Structure 1
Amino acid sequence: MANLGLYYLFFVLFSFHFVTNNAAGSAVAVNSKNGATNFIRLSCRATLYPVLCFQSLSMYATKIQQNERHLAEAALSVSLAKARFTAMFVSKLTKVSGIRPREFRAVKDCIENMGDTVDQLSRSMKEMSRIRGNQDFMWHMSNVQTWVSAALTYENTCFDGFSGNFMEGNVKAAVKRRIVTVAQVTSNALALVNRFAERHQAAATNMP
């Protein structure tokens, strides 16, 4: 009977220890995610489209944590994914029944522009992965900034190809919806890349 009582006491103490540790671990995880989420929200204020920025990046809070580089890389990844999807969508518009000659030419130009956009964003992500501390940091970041800016220019050029009243219609509307979104996330990515570069340089300058 005494052994049974000791066994029961041991079981209660073990269970309490297990539950307490789990609760503490869960609290740490929640606090960590909340901190990352707040970090993303505050960082997105530096962009032109903060609401879209937060919506597109908050799902990566666990990976981003409170790291400026991870945030910039996630933003580039989102932009690249959107650009690839848009490029695939636009490429199918050449087969739309009843497409007008001017629309067809604009779509063909847009396909080329979006292909260039994907290339520039892919190069930017690869360049980010080559950054190692302070060594050649600004050279790598200058490349990234140049290529993301070029991607944004290609996106805007695609959209400009559909300007004018004679281009009004379903094709223009379909392209506009997607190009506007991909241009906005690319603009946000560029802002966060610039923020990362500036903060890294400021920290490096203040090092003893």
Structure 2
Amino acid sequence: MDSLKMFKGYGKIERDHHKIEDQQRNPKSQISKPLITTTISALGILFLTLTFAFALASIVHHRTTDSQQLRNSADYIRVVCNVTRFPAACLAAIPSSANATDPQTILALSLRASLDALQNLSSSLGATKGGALADCKDQLDDALSRLNDSLSAAAALNDKAVSDVQTWVSAALTDQQTCLDGLEEVGDVAGLEKMKKMMKRSYEYISNSLAIVANIRNLLSHFNMTLH
């Protein structure tokens, strides 16, 4: 009887011994569920932190790049406008927000501003018939045609296009002066002074465009660029 108890006890000890050995061979079985949960939570927090950091870095980089582009644009525009007779008007016509970073683009923007200003001037004269004002309207319409041609040519500047644009813009400037000369010849002092004031913006813009195209090669060389 005692022998049987001892045998049963021995069997229990042996089974316990095998269980200990199995646990030693399989340490994973000893990892508790709370530890697994904690590890997963930590990894999740780490992932979210890295994701947020990456997103924040991307936003900062994007804003820095945009700021750098605007600063470069302002630098380009300032250098180009410095060759004109009316730099303040040039800067007003070509804001830094235009993000123009080469002289050819700045020339095109200056021509566009000139065209818009002259169009507004021409429209303000209405449908005049006869007299010096009618002659002025004809001169301004001719100048508009020349500026339109100049703007088209500025889209793909080469040596010939530069020469053409310079000729057309110069002619547009002459058209405005011819308008003023006509008013002066007929003795319309009031009309002359009024026209001078109305013409101030378009005259300055066109004059600036002429200065830019006349210096386009030097400007391109300054920025280590060439004609397209």
Which TM-score tier does this pair reach, normalised by the shorter chain?
Answer: 0.7 to 0.9
Larger Rg belongs to? 2
What residue ranges of structure 1 are gaps of 5+ in the alignment?
96-103, 132-136
- 1:1-208 map, 5 Å: 1-2=37-38, 3-62=40-99, 64-65=100-101, 67-91=102-126, 94=128, 105-131=131-157, 137-163=158-184, 166-169=187-190, 171-200=191-220
Cα deviation per residue 1:81-136 (whole Å; 9 max; x = unaligned)?
Answer: 111111111225x39xxxxxxxx6121011000000000001111222343xxxxx
Structure-2 change in CA distance of 1:204 and 1:130 (3 Å): closer
Q: Which TM-score applies when normalising by structure 1? A: 0.80
Q: Distance in 1 between matches of 2:152 and 2:171?
A: 16
Deviation at 1:164, TM superposition (A): 6.8
**Aligned CA distance change for structure 1 residues 27 and 204 (closer, same or farther; 3 Å):** closer
Q: Which has the higher contact order (CA 8 A, sep 6+)?
A: 1
Give the superposition deviation at 1:35.
1.2
| Matches of 1:165 and 1:117, distance apart in 2 | 22
| Change in CA separation of 1:165 and 1:109 when aligned onto 2, cut-off 3 Å | closer
Relative distance call for 1:60 and 1:85 in structure 2 (3 A) is farther
Cα pair 2:132 2:186 within 8 Å, conserved: no
Q: CA deviation at 1:54?
A: 0.8
**Displacement after TM superposition at 1:59 (Å):** 4.7
Q: Which runs of at least 4 in structure 1 moved beyond 3 Å after TM superposition?
A: 171-174, 197-205
Q: Distance in 1 between matches of 2:221 and 2:46?
A: 58
Structure 2 length normalisation: TM-score?
0.74
CA shift at 1:140, angstroms? 1.7
SS of corresponding position for 2:125? helix
Q: Is the CA contact 1:37–1:61 (under 8 Å) kept in the aligned structure 2?
A: no
Task: Specify every segment of 5 or more residues in structure 2 that has no aligned partner in the other structure, as ranges.
Answer: 1-36
Taking only aligned residues, the RMSD between alpha carbons, in angstroms, comes to: 2.4
Range with greater deviation from structure 2 (179-188 or 153-162): 153-162
Percent sequence identity over aligned pairs: 23
Counterpart of 2:20 in structure 1 is none
Distance in 2 of aligned mates of 1:115 and 1:142: 22
Contact kept? 2:166, 2:214, Cα under 8 Å = yes
Is contact 2:90–2:208 with CA below 8 Å preserved after alignment? Answer: yes
Measure, in 1, the Cα distance between the counterparts of 2:121 and 2:133. Answer: 12
Contact kept, 8 Å, 1:159 with 1:179, in 2: the verdict is no
The count of residues paired between Structure 1 and Structure 2 equals 188
CA–CA separation in structure 2 for the residues paired with 1:182 and 1:164: 22
